[in-house]
Structure 1
Amino acid sequence: MKIALINPKGALFSRNAALAQAMANSETMRSFRYFWSAPNLGLLTIASYIPPSWSVTYIDENYRGLDFNEWYDLVLLSAMTVQVTRAYEIAAHYRQKGSLTVLGGIHATVLPEEALQHVDVVIAGEGEELFPQFLKDLQNGDVKPLYRSSHKGTFSLLQCKIPRYELIQGYPYPLVNLYTTRGCPHSCSFCCASNVYGRNYRQKAIPQIITEIQTIQRVYPDTLLLFADDNAFVLRKQAKELLRQLKGRGLRWIAQTDISAAEDEELLTLMRQAGCQWVVIGFESIQANSLRRLNATSYKARNVSSYPEKIQAIQSHGIGIYGTFIVGLDEDDLSVFSQTVDFILQNRLYGANITVPTPLPRTQLRQQLQAENRIRSNTWEDYTLWDVVIEPKKMSAVELERGLISIYRALMDPQNAAARLAALLHTVRKERHNDTKRNLSNC
C-alpha cells in the first residue's frame, strides 16, 4: 500500500496580525518558535507499526505543500484542535479521490463523533494500542469507523516501538522530540491530558529511551532534543537513573517539569551534567487567587510565594527556565499584565510563553464557560491559545487582547531580552568553572 502521514498546517502564532507579526519577527522569540516546531511524534510512532513493505511518506504541511494529484491508498492525519479544520479539508480531498482517511490525535480522541463526520476512521486514544488493531482489520477487510481505548491509560510503554525518525530526514526541524513517560495525576481546568492519557504515570525502560535517542542522532546529529513528557521528572528515582545514563553523551536537551525540581539538588546537578539547556515550567499565574481555581489540589497556589527562590535554585545550575503563563483568568484584573512582566523580568526567566484562557474540548474550563455562555467562538482555527475566544470576567475581550500584546512587546524589548540572557550566561559560565574546579579536585 501507498501511505501518506500528514501533519496539517496550523497557526504557529496568534491569528491577530499585530501580535503574530511582532512574535514572528522577534529574535528574542526564537526559543518559543523552537518549542512549537517539532515533528508530529504521533505520526512517526504509528509509522513503526506499518508493514515495512508498504510505501510511507511523511508530509509536514508547515514545511512542505501537499500535492493533491498524488495518489495514496491510505491517508493518516494527526491534529490538535487548532489544526483540525485543515485536517478535515485535507481528508475531504482524499476521500473524493477514493483514499481511506484516518484521523488520530488529541482532538479526535476527545471529539470522535465530530471527527467521524469528516473521515472514514477515527483513532480515539493511544496509537500504539489502537493502530495495530486498525491495521489488522484493514488487512482482513473489516475496518471499523471508530477505534477507542476501553481502559485509557493502561497501555504499557514497555511495549512501544521506536518511532520512524528516518521519515523526517530533510526537514529543517530545529529540535526533535521524544517522550519517556505518559500520564498526569492533576486535573487542571484548562487541560485534558488526564482525560486522554489517564492519571497514572507510565514510563519507558531506560534502554528503550537510549536506543531512541541514538536513532534520532543518526538522523539529526547534534540536534536539540525535546523530552515532550507533560512532567518529565515526577518519577524521581527513575529520572535520576536515566540522567546518569545520559551523562557524557554530548546531548543538548530541554524538558517540561514543575517547580518541585528546585527542591532536589541532586536532580538539578544531574540535569546539568546530562546536557539540559532549559526547562519549561507551567507557572500559569503569579496570583494565588487565580491559581486556586485551576485544579482541585491547589498545588501551584500553595507554591506561588516561593517561586522566586525556586527559580533562582534552578537557574543557578545554569539551567534556563521558560515559564508559561495564562492571563485573563477569572480572578485577573488589568494589573495582571504589568505584574506578569515584572515577575518575568525580576526573576530573569530565560523565556516566557503567555497565553489566554482557551476552552479546549472536553476540559473543565469549557464546561464552565459554556454554562456561563461566555464562549465567543467555536471556530477551531481560533483556538491558537493566543486569540481571545471567551468573555473574560474582570476585563473586556479587547482589553485582554491589548494586554497580551503589551506583555510580549515588553519581553521582546532588546534591552530586557539582553539582560535576561546575560544573567543566564553568567550563571552557565560560573557553573562550568565550578565543574572544572570539582573535576580537578577529584583527580
Structure 2
Amino acid sequence: MQQPTTRAAGPPGAVRGWLDALAVVLAGLVAMAAVAALGLWLAGVDDLPDGGFPAVLAATLALAVGGTVQLDGGAGDFAAVGAGISAMPLGVSVVGAVAMAEVFLRRLRFRAVASGGELLGRIGRTALLWLLALALLTLGARHSFVVPLGGDLAESIGGALGLTPEVGFHADGVTTVGIGLAWLLVVLVLTFAVSRRAPLPPALVRHQLAVRPAAFALWLVLLAYLAIGVVAGVLTAVVHGNTRQTLAVVLLALPNLAWTAFGVGLGAEWQGRLVGALGLPVPKPLSAVLRAAPEGGQATIDLGTLAEQDARNWWLLPLAAVLLLAAAFLAARRTPRTVRLWQHAVRFALAAAVTMLLVGLWTRVDAAYGLSVLGVGLGQGGLADLLGAVLGAENPLAGLGGGSLTLRPVLWTAVPLAAGWGLLTGALGSLLAARVRHRGEVPADTR
C-alpha cells in the first residue's frame, strides 16, 4: 500500500517570504550597528552625556545609507546653531551591504534561473521592511545636549539672562528614507551583477556573461584596495601610535580613503576644503592639500598635489594599472573565447566607468558646523563633542566659528578616465587571456 506523502513542516510560502525579507533587513542592520558601535567606541565617543550614544549610533547608520544629519538648537537670539553632515562612513556601509547580499542570496542558492515575478516579490518585500526600518532609524537618530557656552563672558551673560543653550541633532527623514531605499536597490542590483550564485530570469540569463565577469573582477579590485588599506592602517597604528583612533578610521572610513586613492591613481580629481580640526588621523598629504585651499576656493586633490606632499603617492598610478590589468585578465578568462577582443574591452570599459561613478558618489563629503553666541563663534564644549561623535572625530569645531569639510569628485573627468583605462586594460587582458584556458573549456586531449 502506497504511503501518503508528507511535507516538511514550515511556515506557508507567503509567511516564509516575509521572514526571508526580515532576515535580510536584520542582517544588514545588525552588521552595520556592530561595526559602527565598535568604531565609535574606538573613537572615544562612548561616554556621551544624557545617554546619547544610541542616538549617535543611529545617526551613523543613517549616514551609512546616504542620509543627512542636521543639527539645530540654541537659546533664542542669544545662541544659534548651524550644522549639517552628509557623508557616508563606507566601512559601515560595505559591511551592511555584504551581509544583506549574502542573506538575500541564501534562499536562492543552487538555482540558475528564477522567475521575474519571484525576484520582484522578494525585492519588494525586502524594500518595504527596509523602509520601515529606515523610518524607525530616523526616530532613534535624534537627541539633544546642553551646550557649555565656552567662555567666561558668555557664561556670565547666559547665567544672568537665565539662558541654557541646547543643541539637538536629527537624521533628516526625507533623505534617509529616500536615499536609503535607493541604496538598498543599488546593493541588490550590484549583487545580481557580481555574484554567479544569483539566479536570473530566463530573459536575462543570456546577458550575464556580458556583465558578471567584468563586474566581479572590479569588485575584487575594490576589495584589494581595502585589504591594502587594512595593512597600512594596522602598520600605522603600530608604528606611529594613536592605535584606537587609527583603528576607528579603519572601521568607519577605510573605503572612503582607499577608493579615493583608487580614483586618484587613475588620474581622477576631487575638489575639497578643510577648515578646523578633523580629529581622527587621516593621511597627512590629504589633510595638507585640503588645508591649502585658496581663500574662498577649493583645493584639488589629484596625483600631482598628493605627490607634492609625499612622493610615495606616485605609486598609486602603477598600483591602479596593475590591479586593473589583473582584473581585466580575470574577466577575460571567465568569458567564453568566442567573445572578441573589442567586445571584452568595451564591456570592461563600461564596468570601470560605472565603478568610478559609484566610488565618486559614495566618497562625497559635505559637513559644516558652527555655534555662535551673541554673534561670536564658538568651537568648544558640548557641540564639539557631539559633532565629533557623529563625524567620528574628537573636536571638529576647534577654532572660532566652527569649521567645514567638503570633498567632491570631478565626475565629468573621472568617469571618462576610468572608461579609457578600462578600454586599454580590457584589450590587454583579453590578449593575455588568449594564451590560457578559459573557464568552462575542456582541454583538447580530453575531448
Q: TM-score, normalised by structure 1?
A: 0.28
When Rg is computed on C-alpha atoms for both structures, the one with the higher figure is 2
Bigger proportion of residues as helix? 2
Task: Identify the structure with bigger relative contact order (alpha carbons < 8 Å, sequence gap 6+).
Answer: 2
